[in-house]
Structures are given as C-alpha cells and as structure tokens.
Amino acid sequence: MLITPKYTPQLGLFHSLGDQLDEKHPLYLLANTINWSVFEDAFKKHYSEKMGKPAKPIRLMVSLLILKYVRNISDENLVEQWSENIYFQYFSGEQNFCADIPCVPTELVAFR
C-alpha cells in the first residue's frame, strides 16, 4: 500500500537534520540535486492505496539503493550504517535523526 510522506512543520526543537550538516558534503549536495518526485511518480503506480501493508517511502528505498551502489556495500551493512550516518539519513529524506534501521535488508531485495 502506498503511503504519502508526512509533513512536519516543526522538525525539531531547535534545528532540523539539514541544519546540522555540512552543506558542501557530497551527499548533502546530491540530495538537493536529485528530483525525487520523478521516482515517486514512476513507482507509485506499482502500489495500492487501499490494499496491503503500508510500504516504506519510495524516496527512502530509492536512496538506499543509490547509497548501496555508490558505497559498494552489502544490504546488511547499508541498513546498519544508515542508522549511524546522518548524511545517509538526510539523503534519504529524513528530517530528524533516527537510531533505528530503515528496513530489514530483505526489503531491499524485494524493492529491486
């Protein structure tokens, strides 16, 4: 089932995740260069809004696959590093730091 991303006007008590990062970091720049709506539009037709379990956000899954190939790491290492790396999380569209893994590694296999 396709879910729509939540809009949260107050991202944190003092700063959003993006405010804490170096704006010259390659992943920060790339996150703001990619037109993520192209992926949303292309993939949303494969999801139902009424049936099934709610899916992970499309941007998250696409960004995880991009990071996997750019960093040349396994699915298992990727989800572990994502939970520790604020640049990975910002690239994936997170607004606040999240210490949990974004998905189980097998979900990346299914998304591919």
What pLDDT shows up at residue 29? 95
Rounded Cα distance, 19 and 22, in Å: 8
Closest CA to 23 of 95, 90, 72, 79: 90
Q: 0.85 exceeded by the pTM?
A: no
Rounded Cα distance, 11 and 13, in Å: 7
What pLDDT shows up at residue 3? 67
What does each of the 112 residues of the chain score in pLDDT, given as a tens digit? 676 666 555 555 556 777 888 899 999 999 999 999 999 999 888 877 777 777 789 999 999 999 999 999 999 999 999 999 999 999 999 988 889 999 999 989 888 8
What pLDDT shows up at residue 10? 54
Instruction: Residue 84: count other Cβ atoms within 10 Å of its Cβ.
Output: 11
Rounded Cα distance, 56 and 82, in Å: 15
Q: Both ends of the chain: CA-CA distance in Å?
A: 17
Helices (H) and strands (E) counted in the chain, each on its own, are 6, 0
What pLDDT shows up at residue 46? 83
